[in-house]
């Protein structure tokens, strides 16, 4: 068995708190996240590759995204029976993953524990904030195109039509947000978080999907209009403190609670949180379900999720088109789920029962 620890940025955490009680959203429980208390979560990912005794490999996304104002990674540790265990980093996006190799005939198990501290976010658009400027390299990266996230052709045409006449960056970013909310819908039958194949969506006019599709569309349109933007791929770790049943983890078992969010960079405000996909999730899933866009819960979510997040969620990374090291398989549009290969064949990362992985969370502490 092996154990290794890295990215130690915080003091040891000792207090364990219970999972927060889920409260229904009401008019008296306004959806108004703000950056107050920091909360620390422990996320445990256990993977047991169903290899049938064959040689196997696994790639586990490591929480590695940090931002001084809202998220820090305190610790990542693991135990595994793997013969080779390495932390790998995507050279373009900085995506970190734990790469494990097992020889034939060995037990194929790995457990990773991560401690991440985070807090809610809110942007005050009425006054400029002291945000550091993006470097030329960062601006180029976050306006660039990828295979699944194009910014040319019909995507650029669509973006230009949406922002035409805008006079400020905020107006551009908001117009794209409102357009995405108005023109997309959450498709319950979409597997996982969707594919994030934005070119297909725009070319076909099929704007249904889940968070990787809807928030990916926002990022592509923002980049195509000249605004730096990025998807953040992560997982929900706790219920909503504002009573939204659809916007939080329902239990400590978060195996299927993956969610990606988006950010757009505005020169006066820095990285601004947006989440049009969760507006559509509220409309479809908030009890009793299939709410109209005029329902107060949807209206509140729409207003809040341009510029604010409730951070009962942690980010793994912000990378696109990820090639798994030492894999002959195709690149992934993003790395948000554990991945594995058995005898060179890629496992279905969305079939947690067959693949045999489970993810659990618990809140450790809250501090001012």
Q: Can you say whether the dihedral through the CA atoms of 181, 186, 187, 193 is positive or negative?
A: positive
Q: How many CB atoms lie within 10 A of CB 283?
A: 22
Please tell me the distance from the alpha carbon of residue 74 to that of residue 62, in angstroms, as a whole number: 12
Mean pLDDT of 286-297: 97
What mean pLDDT is reported for the chain? 91
Asked if residues 245 and 352 have their Cβ atoms less than 8 Å apart, the reply is no
The model's pLDDT over 207-249, given as tens digits with 9 standing for 90+, comes to 999 999 999 999 999 999 999 999 999 999 999 999 999 999 9
CA 281 vs CA 63, 122, 275, 290: distances in Å: 24, 20, 10, 9
Cite the beta strand spans of 325-367 per DSSP E. 339-342, 345-346, 357-367
What is the rounded average pLDDT of the residues 41-53? 95
8 A C-beta contact, residue 110 and residue 60: yes
* Confidence check: pLDDT of 94 > 70: yes
What are the backbone dihedrals phi and psi of residue 343, each rounded to the nearest 5 degrees, phi first? Answer: 50, 40
Calculate what percentage of the chain has a pLDDT beyond 90: 86
Using the predicted structure, report yes or no on whether residue 8 has a pLDDT greater than 90.
Answer: no
Q: How confident is the model at residue 24 (pLDDT cuts 50, 70, 90)?
A: low
Structural domains of the chain, ranges and CATH numbers in brackets: 2-10+39-119+323-367 (2.60.40.2250), 123-316 (3.10.620.30)
Q: Contact, 259 vs 193, CB < 8 A? A: yes
Q: According to the model, what pLDDT value does residue 7 have? A: 35
Cα separation, 329 vs 317, in Å, equals 21
**Per the structure block, which two tokens stand in for 322?**
């990820």
Q: Are 301 and 32 in contact (CB under 8 A)?
A: no
- pLDDT cut 70: percent of the chain above it: 91
Task: Assess whether pLDDT exceeds 80 at residue 287.
Answer: yes
How would residue 353 be classed by pLDDT, with cut points 50, 70 and 90? Answer: confident
């Amino acid at each position: 068995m092996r154990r290794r620890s890295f990215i130690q940025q915080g003091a040891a955490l000792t207090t364990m708190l219970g999972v927060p009680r889920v409260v229904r959203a009401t008019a008296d429980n306004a959806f108004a996240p703000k950056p107050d208390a920091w909360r620390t979560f422990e996320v445990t990912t256990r993977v047991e590759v169903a290899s049938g005794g064959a040689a196997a490999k696994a790639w586990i996304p490591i929480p590695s995204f940090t931002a001084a104002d809202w998220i820090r990674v305190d610790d990542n540790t693991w135990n595994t029976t793997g013969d080779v265990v390495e932390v790998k980093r995507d050279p373009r996006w900085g995506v970190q993953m734990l790469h494990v190799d097992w020889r034939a005939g060995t037990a194929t198990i790995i457990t990773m524990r991560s401690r991440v501290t985070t807090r809610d976010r809110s942007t005050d658009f009425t006054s400029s904030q002291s945000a550091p400027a993006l470097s030329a390299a960062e601006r180029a990266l976050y306006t660039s195109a990828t295979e699944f996230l194009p910014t040319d052709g019909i995507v650029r045409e669509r973006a230009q039509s949406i922002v035409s006449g805008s006079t400020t960056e905020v107006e551009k970013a908001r117009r794209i947000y409102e357009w995405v909310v108005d023109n997309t819908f959450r498709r319950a039958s979409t597997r996982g978080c969707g594919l994030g194949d934005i070119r297909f969506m725009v070319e076909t006019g099929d704007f249904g999907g889940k968070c990787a599709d809807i928030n990916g569309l926002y990022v592509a349109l923002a980049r195509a209009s000249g605004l730096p933007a990025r998807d953040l791929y992560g997982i929900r770790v706790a219920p909503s403190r504002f009573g939204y049943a659809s916007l939080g983890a329902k239990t400590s078992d978060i195996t299927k609670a993956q969610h990606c969010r988006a950010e757009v960079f505005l020169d006066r405000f820095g990285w601004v949180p947006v989440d049009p996909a969760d507006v559509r999730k509220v409309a479809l899933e908030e009890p009793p379900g299939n709410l109209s866009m005029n329902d107060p819960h949807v209206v509140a979510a729409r207003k809040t999720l341009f510029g604010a997040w409730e951070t009962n969620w942690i980010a793994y990374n912000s990378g696109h088109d990820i090639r798994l090291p030492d894999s002959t398989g195709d690149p992934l549009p993003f790395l948000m789920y554990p991945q594995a290969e058995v005898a060179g064949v890629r496992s279905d990362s969305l079939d947690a029962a067959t693949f045999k992985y489970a993810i659990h969370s618990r809140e450790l502490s809250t501090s001012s």
